[in-house]
């Protein structure tokens, strides 16, 4: 028997009938966000550089009664992004929400990071967000407005050592988010960024053990591990009508880390 979509507890699915795209949705944070949006009634397009991962994640949503489809896209390719948006519109009839989530989190200082590596992290973490915002706007405008959410990061607000490429890229995402929000408000398009701290996802697999525990004890006042669900819950709020007056904001979800950083 097919299960009904979950809801927030009062029988109302806040995103029912909306079409959402999540990039990097084949695993980790993107997958969790896609699942949460689907549980709130959205039709979800899961875009990923791995079609196999995207397909598996879409099938998991379908098994719970959600509507989802997988799409192949290298988000650093303008051509592939444009193609993916067109395919989503053909599949679902339009686009209401884009979540630019795909990214990398390399380590390195300005001395140890090569120019090629710096270019790579900017291409994945910043330029791809620009391309997503730029090319989704016509689709949102056709629907009378819509929502863009970008994954930024706590360290885009306050950098930490050994994260020069990531911190620069995420700072750029925050500024881009504000610019899009200002420029597109007239079209009823909202744009916000979510700034996660250290979340238990594959992206942070290298930051584990004693190093992680020491950092969290020093810089995260809340005694908890920020989970992908915490980010996904914020994404649902920013996507729905309850956040209709929220735009241009870097929303921090990090257990208080940003408030404690003094670098």
Q: Which residues are catalytic?
A: 166
Q: Are 18 and 43 in contact (CB under 8 A)?
A: yes
CA angle 77, 99, 44 (to 5 degrees): 100
Q: Are 47 and 77 in contact (CB under 8 A)?
A: no
Q: At 252, is the secondary structure helix, strand, or coil?
A: strand
Backbone angles phi, psi at 54, to 5 degrees: -65, -40
Q: At 172, is the secondary structure helix, strand, or coil?
A: helix
For the stretch 89-93, contacts whose Cβ atoms lie closer than 8 Å and that sit 24 or more positions apart, written own/partner, are 89/139, 91/45, 92/19, 92/43, 92/45, 93/19
Separation between Cα atoms, residue 76 and residue 159, nearest integer Å: 24
**Among 31, 119, 24, which residue's Cα sits nearest to residue 73?**
24
> E strands, 27-93, where?
43-48, 67-72
Q: Are 92 and 24 in contact (CB under 8 A)?
A: no
| DSSP state, residue 27 | S
For tokens 């989704």, the residue is 136
């Amino acid at each position: 028997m097919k299960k009904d979509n979950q809801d927030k507890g009062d029988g109302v699915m806040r995103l029912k009938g909306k079409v959402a795209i999540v990039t990097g949705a084949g695993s980790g944070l993107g997958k969790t966000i896609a699942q949460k949006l689907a549980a709130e009634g959205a039709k979800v397009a899961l875009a990923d550089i791995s079609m196999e991962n995207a397909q598996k994640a879409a099938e998991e949503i379908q098994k719970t009664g959600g509507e989802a489809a997988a799409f192949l896209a290298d988000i650093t390719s303008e051509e592939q992004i444009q193609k993916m948006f067109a395919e989503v519109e053909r599949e679902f009839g339009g686009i209401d929400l884009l979540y630019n989530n795909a990214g990398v989190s390399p380590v390195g200082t300005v001395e140890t990071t090569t120019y090629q590596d710096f270019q790579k992290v900017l291409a994945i973490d910043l330029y791809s967000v620009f391309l997503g915002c730029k090319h989704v706007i016509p689709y949102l405008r056709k629907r009378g407005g819509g929502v863009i959410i970008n994954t930024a990061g706590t360290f885009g607000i306050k950098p930490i050592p050994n994260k020069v490429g990531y911190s620069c890229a995420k700072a750029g995402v925050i500024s881009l988010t504000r610019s899009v929000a200002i420029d597109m408000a007239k079209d009823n398009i909202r744009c916000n960024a979510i700034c996660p701290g250290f979340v238990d996802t594959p992206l942070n697999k290298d930051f584990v053990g004693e190093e992680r525990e020491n950092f969290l004890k020093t810089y995260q006042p809340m005694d908890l591990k920020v989970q992908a669900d915490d980010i996904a819950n914020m994404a649902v709020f920013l996507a729905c009508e309850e956040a209709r007056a929220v735009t241009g904001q870097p929303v921090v979800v990090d257990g208080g880390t940003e408030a404690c950083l003094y670098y």
